[in-house]
């Protein structure tokens, strides 16, 4: 069913049914980046779903900002292939096939398992100090999961893994993994959070910190492989109608 607005454009009913748990921004500096990060988190956690329309003015009202930074952030997501423009209507999330998610999971395993093992192998001196500095972030991930704050969970999770991988010293690795994570969809996160399972699985982040500080390369590789296996199991679910 469609309705006609004053401007004469037709809009799917799905647009008006969409309600997202959005953060507000106390710091008004660099709103485009802040909104973009929040939207990516909503995409990753599956809260923004394929088939629904999202208008910049409506999202802006929920964020508590003007429509301009939201529209600019959405256009950034268009350039990344995460959403597409629907003329005179808004933006629609790009749908991913299971085969796409499988391929991204495989790529992440090829990269993250050995690289995290290498970080653990050289974890001494300044590297060990940097790793210990990740512990509060690991706990923030667990706290966000327990509070069912999926936007904070996703943002902190991306930061944690990016900073950990960066200790290997290859910025290209960080960029590739970050892009793969931004393109992912974790459709099962809401159910896992409701059941308390997400908070339990999130403890693996602090275990990674401990494994690195022990310089346990093989243990780190096993832990990261296990962690990525959990993530793919959440990707296996499809978005609900």
Query: Do 112 and 84 reside in the same domain of the chain?
Result: no
User: Quick check: is 240 in a domain?
Assistant: no
Mean pLDDT of the chain: 85
**Structural domains counted in the chain:** 2
User: Quick check: is 241 in a domain?
Assistant: no
Spatial neighbors of 26 by CB under 8 A, at least 6 apart, are: none
Query: Do 114 and 221 reside in the same domain of the chain?
Result: yes
- For residue 211, pLDDT over 70 is answered with yes
Domain boundary among 73, 93, 113: 93
Q: Per-residue pLDDT averaged across 76-103, rounded?
A: 88
Query: Do 144 and 228 reside in the same domain of the chain?
Result: yes
Point out which residues pair with 93 in neighbouring strands: 83
Full residue range of the structural domain in which residue 25 is found: 2-93
Count of CB atoms situated within 10 Å of the CB of 126: 8
CATH of the domain at 126: 1.20.120.530
Query: Do 147 and 44 reside in the same domain of the chain?
Result: no
Query: Do 76 and 102 reside in the same domain of the chain?
Result: no
Query: Do 142 and 84 reside in the same domain of the chain?
Result: no
Q: For residue range 120-133, what is the model confidence (pLDDT) as tens digits?
A: 999 999 999 999 99
**Three-class DSSP category at 155:** helix
Confidence of residue 11 (pLDDT cuts 50, 70, 90): very low
pTM: 0.77
Domain boundary among 93, 116, 137: 93
Point out which residues pair with 3 in neighbouring strands: 11
User: Quick check: is 208 in a domain?
Assistant: yes
Q: For residue range 149-194, what is the model confidence (pLDDT) as tens digits?
A: 988 998 899 999 999 999 999 999 999 999 898 888 887 788 888 8
| CB-count burial class (<10 Å; 0-12, 13-18, 19+) for 228 | middle
- Taking alpha carbons only, the member of 138, 156, 142 closest to residue 208 is 138
Distance between CA 34 and CA 45 in Å, rounded? Answer: 17
Give the C-alpha distances (Å, rounded to integers) separating 232 from 52, 165, 184. Answer: 24, 19, 10
Spatial neighbors of 140 by CB under 8 A, at least 6 apart, are: 152, 156
Domain boundary among 66, 93, 120: 93
User: Quick check: is 200 in a domain?
Assistant: yes
Contact 31, 108 (CB under 8 A): no
């Amino acid at each position: 069913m469609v309705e006609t607005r004053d401007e004469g454009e037709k809009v799917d009913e799905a647009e008006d049914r969409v309600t997202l748990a959005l953060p507000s921004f106390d710091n008004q500096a660099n709103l485009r980046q802040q909104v973009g990060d929040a939207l990516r988190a909503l995409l990753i956690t599956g809260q923004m779903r394929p088939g629904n329309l999202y208008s910049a003015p409506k999202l802006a009202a929920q964020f508590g900002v003007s429509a301009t930074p939201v529209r600019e952030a959405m256009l950034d997501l268009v350039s990344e292939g995460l959403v597409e423009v629907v003329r005179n209507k808004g933006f629609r999330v790009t749908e991913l096939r299971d085969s796409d998610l499988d391929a991204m999971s495989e790529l992440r395993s090829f990269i993250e398992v050995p690289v995290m093992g290498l970080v653990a192998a050289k974890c001494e001196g300044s590297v060990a100090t940097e790793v210990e500095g990740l512990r509060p972030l690991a706990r923030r991930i667990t706290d966000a999961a327990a509070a069912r704050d999926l936007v904070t969970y996703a943002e902190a999770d991306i930061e944690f893994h990016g900073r950990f991988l960066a200790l290997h010293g290859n910025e290209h690795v960080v960029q590739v993994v970050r892009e793969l994570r931004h393109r992912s969809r974790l459709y099962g996160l809401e159910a896992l959070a409701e059941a308390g399972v997400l908070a339990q699985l999130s403890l693996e982040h602090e275990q990674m910190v401990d494994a690195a500080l022990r310089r346990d390369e093989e243990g780190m590789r096993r832990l990261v492989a296990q962690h990525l296996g959990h993530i793919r199991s959440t990707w296996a679910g499809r978005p609900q109608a």
